Chain A
Amino acid sequence: EAQVTQNPRYLITVTGKKLTVTCSQNMNHEYMSWYRQDPGLGLRQIYYSMNVEVTDKGDVPEGYKVSRKEKRNFPLILESPSPNQTSLYFCASSLRATAVSYNEQFFGPGTRLTVL
């Protein structure tokens, strides 16, 4: 089944304790992205990756890191989480997302993160 998977689905942690949220897709998509969803603010892009080893900042990148060493995986790293990073996080992937070739994004199930 074609899908985007995220782990963990739920995570409660404490301020300053490094964590990684994994994202994997099995559709051979080039483009992957992370969003966070907050009440009243909708979804906002954190980081994206156009392909392996190509990543760039989205609208709200502060406090986050990403890497894209393999096409299928795009982990989100919080090196020193803070309470304002408590949110619902979504990973998404797309076959391609350029000005001349754009395909719709498929979303993972979400990871609910609480930072105490």
Chain B
Amino acid sequence: AQSVTQPDIHITVSEGASLELRCNYSYGATPYLFWYVQSPGQGLQLLLKYFSGDTLVQGIKGFEAEFKRSQSSFNLRKPSVHWSDAAEYFCAVVGGNYGGSQGNLIFGKGTKLSVKP
């Protein structure tokens, strides 16, 4: 079965520092991968996605992620974190097509990011 692992439940970084959030997936085919952000009390906003092609993808708000097939990873990065980046971040892979429901986004359990001034 497909799965997504986000090893870090909570990360604290200083404002201006770089950030890397880890995501590992288990999927038997070429995955569709996503990072979503959820600010407190808000819905989920898509940061970026990977479908195919260039393995380094750029997203909104200065985020980028790199797909590494050999490591089954899709880590999210930002060179300089802003206080407004404090939120919860979810990595997701599309399930389905291999026994699951169509279009089902399989989410990791999330990484909560705190930003120190």
Enumerate chain A interface residues (CB-CB to B < 8 A). Answer: 31, 33, 35, 40-45, 48, 50, 56-59, 90, 92, 94, 97-99, 102, 104-110
Residues of B within 8 A of A108 (CB): 43
Residues of B within 8 A of A102 (CB): 32, 51, 94, 103
Chain A residue at minimal CB-CB distance from B100: A59
Query: Which among B36, B42, B105 is the interface contact of A45 at CB below 8 angstroms?
Result: B105
Interface window among B16-24, B62-70, B75-83, B106-114: B106-114
Q: Chain A's nearest CB lies how many Å from the CB of B20?
A: 20
Is B104 positioned at the interface, with any CB of A under 8 Å from its CB?
A: yes
- Report the Cα distance A92→B38, complex, angstroms: 14
- Report the Cα distance A94→B46, complex, angstroms: 12
Interface size on B, residues (CB 8 A): 24
Q: Chain B's nearest CB lies how many Å from the CB of A86?
A: 17
- Report the Cα distance A48→B103, complex, angstroms: 8
Query: Which among A43, A90, A98, A107 is the interface contact of B102 at CB below 8 angstroms?
Result: A98
Residues of A within 8 A of B49 (CB): 104
Which residues of B, 84-106, contact A by the 8 Å Cβ criterion?
Answer: 90, 94, 96-97, 100-105
Residues of A within 8 A of B45 (CB): 107
Is B44 positioned at the interface, with any CB of A under 8 Å from its CB?
A: yes
Given A41-B109, A42-B90: A107 in contact with B104 (beta carbons within 8 A): no
Q: Chain A's nearest CB lies how many Å from the CB of B48?
A: 10
Chain B residue at minimal CB-CB distance from A35: B105
Query: Which among B43, B46, B101, B110 is the interface contact of A90 at CB below 8 angstroms?
Result: B43
Query: What are 9 A-B contacts defined by CB distance under 8 Å?
Result: A42-B90, A42-B108, A42-B110, A58-B101, A59-B100, A59-B104, A97-B96, A104-B49, A108-B43
